[in-house]
Structures are given as C-alpha cells and as structure tokens.
Amino acid sequence: MSKYHDPNIQGALDVIAQPPQVASRQDTEHESRLVSALARGVGVLGCFSPSLQELSGKALMEMTGLPKPTLTRMLDTLCELGLLHYSERLSKYVPGLGLLNLAAPALARMTVRQLARPLMEELAEHIGGQVQLLAGIGDNLTYVEVVHGSGSPIVRPEIGTHLSLSRTASGRAFVLQMPEPEHAAWLADFTRRKPGQREWLAGRLADAARDLETHGFCRGHSDLHREIETIAVPMSRRRDGEALVFGAAVPVFSVQSKRLVEDLGPRLLTLARNVEASLGT
C-alpha cells in the first residue's frame, strides 16, 4: 500500500465540506481553546510578509476585520513589545526587531539545517541552481534553509516565507504526506476557494503521487514560475510533528532541467536519505 494519499483524489475533491452543524460545533470547540487577544495579536502580525513589509492602520483594520479601538490597543501593545514598529518616516507599521529574537530559537533548534547545509551546498554547486529545505505543519510550508550554486540566476526566497502548496513540487509533496484529517480539510478548503482548479489539482496531485512512488521525488511542471523547473523529496517521517521537504530549482534553459529524472532527482533523493541517516530516522 502506498504511503502517500490515493492519487485518484477526484472523489475527495467532491466531498467539499461537512454538514454546517458539524463544522459549526468544531469551530466553537476550537475557538474555546484559544486566548482570543493572543490570537488576534498573532493575526495582526500575520498580515505582514516579505511582500507586505509596511502597512497602515487602515490597511490592517481592513485585513483583520478588527474594530478600530481594539486594533489600536493591539498595535500599541505589539509596538511596546518590539514586535511591531511605527515608522514616522513612512507613517506605517513595520515588523519589529523583536520578531528576530522569537525566530532565532526556532531556527537554532532545527539541527537538520546544520546537518543538511554542506550537502545542499555541494548539490547547489553541481546543478548551478538552488537547493531548499522546507518545514511544514498544518497547512503551512516554510523555507528554513536556502543555498545557491555559483552563478545561479534564481531569486533567493527569504527564510520564513510560505510556499504555495498547489503550484509547487514541494507543496504537493507536503500535501500528499499530510495526516488524513489535514489532507481532507486542505482539499476541501482549496476547492471552496478555487472551484475552477479542482480538476487541474487532481491531475497534478496524481502526477506527484506517481512520481514519488516511481522515483522518490516529484516534479513542479513550472507551475509557479515558467522559467524554473523544480523537484522535491519529502523526508520519510515527521520530526517533532513537522514535515521536512527538500527542493531543488534550476532554470528551464539549463542542462540540468533536461536531466531531472536521470541526475538531479536521484542526487536530491540521496541527499535527503543521507540527512535522514544522520538524524537517525
């Protein structure tokens, strides 16, 4: 039996949502476990990203849906804690340096980064492209290490940036290894948000499942960037509840883009298995 989800997922995509009363009850139970003020504060911080580094109070109010008095208190608190900063020059809020202090322990405890980096550097140099390590939990997949080969023209993503789950090789490898409840919930949510892409997604996930079963890696089909070819290898087991995925990217005009199955894929697969052996998994 395959360790990946059934590649014939059209039926799963047809099951869009639970009955309203069930979903409502689960939402209520989930919300009862949350500290609402903390959740709102994290929601405000989550509005910022590498492409949204500066936001006005008005923009944050529109994005969060919070009333102005509540948002004002939230912003004042986050600024006092150093997690946000109000720039007088921009008249906007920007992420505070205190976020770096929070991120540092999370990165430091991921020993897989230190173990994998020399192997990633060697492969990146060989392919003249980019090698990535991503970590995922829930429905978020995040860059935690990125290495470039000499002369690589591929733009380097920022550590901490989320990756598309539907349009990338690494994202689809992650989706196929999700625990069943998370897998079904993500498929249902995707179908609600993008009903016109359900058949396309079913085909891409089926392709990825076949690739993983046959080769141990899956391909990205240039779905996110037409000028970049990508592959991905998921690690066999989660570590501390987190999924780890290795990805590699090369320009479509490079020699390596024509040798994904013969050379690049097997090399990335070997890298992943060597890291697993070093971790004792």
The pLDDT tens digits for 170-186 are: 999 999 999 999 999 99
Of the three residues 42, 61, 96, the one that is the final residue of a domain is 96
Q: Are residues 128 and 228 in the same domain?
A: yes
The band of 151, judged by pLDDT with boundaries at 50, 70 and 90, is confident
Q: Are residues 76 and 140 in the same domain?
A: no
Domain count, the chain: 2
Range of the domain at 251: 110-279
Locus of tokens 């429905």: 139
Q: Are residues 116 and 149 in the same domain?
A: yes
Q: Are residues 44 and 143 in the same domain?
A: no
Q: Are residues 120 and 247 in the same domain?
A: yes
Residue positions counted in the chain: 281
Q: Are residues 136 and 267 in the same domain?
A: yes
Sign of the alpha-carbon torsion through 142, 165, 112, 239: positive
What is each CA distance from 170 to 93, 159, 223, 266, in whole angstroms? Answer: 32, 15, 12, 16
pLDDT tens for residues 49-96? 888 899 999 999 999 999 999 999 999 999 999 999 999 999 999 999
Rounded Cα–Cα distance for residues 10 and 247 (Å) = 26
Mean pLDDT across the chain, nearest whole number? 88
Is residue 201's pLDDT more than 90?
Answer: yes
Q: Are residues 138 and 261 in the same domain?
A: yes
| Buried/exposed 57-68: b ≥16 CB within 10 Å, e otherwise | eeebbebbebee
pLDDT tens for residues 116-128? 999 999 999 999 9
Q: Are residues 90 and 158 in the same domain?
A: no
Q: Are residues 55 and 130 in the same domain?
A: no
Q: Are residues 143 and 34 in the same domain?
A: no
pLDDT tens for residues 204-236? 999 999 999 999 999 999 999 999 999 999 999
pLDDT at 67: 94
Is residue 1's pLDDT more than 90?
Answer: no
| Residue 102 falls inside a structural domain | no
The band of 14, judged by pLDDT with boundaries at 50, 70 and 90, is very low
pLDDT at 124: 97
